[in-house]
């Protein structure tokens, strides 16, 4: 069979598209939600707020380079999933998988609601937007992106390139206007200086402020999730991560300074759409430009999440921890059912609206998964020292990151426990319970084979024709999947 006509994930993303993909994923809802949350948990102290943004940038860079080692060592789609299974074993990786089944759709639901808020807000000047139209629009956005998400990598990359240009343009407009206003209006500089004298936050609030900041920088994980579709992954994964995060750090600091130059901390806290409030104060006649730019920013971030998360479920299916349907590809070489499942879960979670508390919950779950990745990385260094590693992060950086995120999780739990900490414990216990039932005991529903056949015909999907390029079958596919593929090829 001609290699170009094979049904498999293709390596179509180079350095330029890799950078734009990460930018599209990171610069989404975070920079328009997190400033409010960071200020809130910093007790409106501007100095603490800006320091947290800087520290979050540094820690995110080190953490992303730690993930880069995972992606370059195992350059396949869903690399972190396979890495955890190889280093720590099936129970721990299944916990991460079960947590992601909530974490990823919940984040998508939050961003969809924010996007709907920015789209509808210009039609309701001076008042809050009604809830029902906002949620209906958020659902329509999700399903439209789901349709685009099953069209394959080529159509998604050009869309992400255009949206990356638009969102960077909007952030540059906000940053440059803020810098000019800070220089030409002395009262803005005085007010900004006065905000440094606010009360210091409680120690239990600092971790929650960091979770808000990390949420704005999150998204670099997508480069590891789609490692199987990146050209020359050993070289491009670390380069793309370093370039994108450096650009994002500069933009985020300038944008936050611009927000604080034009708006008081109290005004930022009271605003549901900070960028629109800023635009209404600075360039009211061009408010629609900011609205379009912000909307495209969040839209492309959602699409990146759909794209990368579906590859995680694709890998989990190949490793036997999700039904084989999730690793079947359509004619566009896209795991269509994995995309649809993510959209359905996110649609259900649209009806939750406490974004700041939701971000804290996602931050704790993400920190636990990151801790497992670092433990697995250290364990594998000693367990398989001769394993080829094109890119290696210094273990001191990995250990430092592990300590930081451990403190961020433990300090608020010990000092001021809240209800969502109990939710995290529930997810941990339910993850191991599901593993025991469906993976260890191999419980199966008798009617599922029939459903598999019907869904294959309905979605026009089939198993991939072979392992991903550059990856041997011994590494990527367990024996159960290989047998299934051999049977498919014979049929």
Higher-confidence residue of 304 and 247: namely 247
Minimal CA–CA distance to 74: which of 479, 377, 335? Answer: 377
Distance CA 435, CA 443 (A): 10
Number of independent structural domains in the chain: 1
What is the domain range of residue 81?
A: 3-490
| pLDDT given at position 352 | 60
Q: What is the CATH number of the domain that holds 134?
A: 1.20.1740.10
23 close to 109: Cβ distance less than 8 angstroms: no
pLDDT band of residue 246 (cuts 50, 70, 90) is very high
Distance CA 203, CA 429 (A): 28
> Can you read off the two tokens belonging to residue 106?
């919940």
Distance CA 247, CA 423 (A): 35
Residues of 330-348 as b/e, b for ≥16 C-beta within 10 angstroms?
beebbbbbbbbbbbebbbe
pLDDT band of residue 472 (cuts 50, 70, 90) is very low
Higher-confidence residue of 325 and 445: namely 325
Distance CA 338, CA 311 (A): 8
| pLDDT given at position 187 | 64
Distance CA 325, CA 87 (A): 26
What's the gap between Cα 12 and its chain centre? 21
pLDDT tens sequence across 93-146:
887 787 777 778 877 887 788 788 777 877 776 677 777 888 888 888 888 888
In three-state form (DSSP H/G/I as H, E/B as E, the rest C), the secondary structure along the chain is CCHHHCCCCCCCECHHHHHHHHHHHHCCCHHHHHHHHHHHHCCCCHHHHHHHHHHHHHHHHHHHHHHHHHHHHCCCECHHHHHHHHHCCHHHHHHHHHHHHHHHHHHHHHHHHHHHHHHHHHHCCCCCCCHHHHHHHHHHHHHHHHHHHCCCHHHHHHHHHHHHHHHHHHHHHHHHHHHHHHHHCHHHHHHHHHHHHCCCCCCCHHHHHHHHHHHHHCCCCHHHHEHHHECCHHHHHHHHHHHHHHHHHHHHHHHHHHHHHHCCHHHHHHCCCHHHHHHHHHCHHHHHHHHHHHHHHHHHHHHHHHHHHHHHHHHHHHCCCCCHHHHCECCCCCCHHHHHHHHHHHHHHCCCCCHHHHHHHHHHHHHHHHHHHHHHHHHHHHHCCCCCCCCCCCHHHHHHHHHHHHHHHHHHHHHCCCHHHHHHHHHHHHHHHHHHHHHHCCCCCCCHHHHHHHHHHHHCCECCCCCCCCCCHHHHCCHHHHHHHHHHHHC
Minimal CA–CA distance to 349: which of 104, 130, 148? Answer: 104
pTM of the predicted protein model: 0.73
Over 50: is that where the pLDDT of 479 sits? Answer: no
Higher-confidence residue of 183 and 66: namely 66
| Phi, psi of 402, deg, nearest 5 | -60, -45
pLDDT band of residue 29 (cuts 50, 70, 90) is low
Over 70: is that where the pLDDT of 241 sits? Answer: yes
188 close to 182: Cβ distance less than 8 angstroms: yes
pLDDT tens sequence across 258-283:
888 888 888 888 876 787 788 888 88
| pLDDT given at position 243 | 92
pLDDT tens sequence across 336-383:
888 888 888 888 888 765 556 666 677 777 788 888 888 989 888 888
């Amino acid at each position: 069979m001609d290699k170009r006509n094979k049904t498999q994930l293709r390596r179509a993303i180079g350095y330029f598209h890799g950078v734009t993909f990460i930018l599209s994923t990171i610069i989404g809802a975070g920079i328009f939600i997190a400033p409010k949350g960071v200020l809130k948990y910093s007790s409106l102290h501007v100095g603490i707020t800006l320091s947290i943004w800087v520290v979050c940038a540094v820690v995110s860079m080190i953490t992303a380079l730690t993930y880069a080692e995972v992606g370059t060592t195992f350059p396949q789609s869903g690399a972190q999933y396979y890495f955890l299974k190889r280093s720590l074993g099936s129970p721990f990786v299944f916990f991460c998988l079960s947590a992601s089944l909530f974490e990823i759709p919940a984040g998508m639901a939050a961003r969809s609601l924010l996007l709907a808020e920015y789209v509808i807000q210009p039609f309701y000047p001076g008042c809050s937007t009604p809830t029902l139209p906002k949620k209906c629009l958020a659902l329509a956005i999700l399903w439209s992106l789901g349709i685009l998400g099953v069209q394959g990598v080529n159509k998604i990359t050009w869309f992400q390139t255009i949206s990356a240009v638009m969102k960077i343009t909007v952030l540059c407009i906000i940053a440059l206007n803020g810098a000019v206003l800070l220089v030409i209006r002395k009262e803005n500089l005085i007010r900004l200086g006065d905000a440094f004298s606010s009360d210091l936050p409680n120690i239990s609030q600092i971790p929650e402020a960091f979770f808000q900041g990390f949420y704005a920088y999150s998204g670099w994980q997508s480069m590891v999730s789609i490692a199987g579709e990146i050209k020359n992954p050993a070289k491009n994964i670390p380069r793309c991560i370093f370039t994108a995060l450096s650009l994002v750090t500069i933009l985020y600091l300038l944008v936050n300074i611009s927000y604080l130059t034009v708006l008081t901390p109290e005004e930022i806290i009271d605003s549901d759409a900070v960028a629109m409030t800023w635009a209404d104060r600075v360039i009211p006649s061009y408010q629609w430009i900011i609205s379009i730019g912000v909307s495209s920013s969040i839209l492309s971030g959602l699409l990146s999440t759909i794209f990368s998360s579906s590859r995680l479920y694709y890998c989990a299916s190949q490793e036997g921890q999700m039904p084989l349907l999730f690793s079947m590809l359509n004619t566009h070489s896209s795991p269509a059912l994995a995309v649809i499942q993510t959209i359905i879960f996110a649609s259900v979670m649209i009806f939750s609206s406490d974004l700041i508390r939701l971000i804290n919950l996602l931050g704790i779950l993400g920190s636990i998964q990151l801790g497992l990745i670092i433990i697995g990385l250290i364990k594998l260094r000693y367990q398989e020292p001769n394993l080829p590693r094109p890119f290696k992060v210094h273990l001191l950086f990995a250990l430092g990151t592990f300590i930081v995120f451990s403190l961020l999780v433990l300090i608020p739990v010990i000092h001021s426990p809240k209800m969502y900490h109990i939710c995290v414990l529930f997810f941990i216990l339910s993850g191991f319970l599901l593993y025991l039932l469906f993976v260890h005991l191999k419980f199966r529903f008798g009617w599922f084979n029939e459903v598999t056949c019907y869904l294959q015909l309905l979605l026009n999907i089939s198993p991939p024709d072979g392992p991903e390029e550059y990856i041997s079958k011994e590494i990527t596919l367990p024996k159960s999947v290989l047998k299934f593929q051999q049977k498919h090829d014979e049929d």
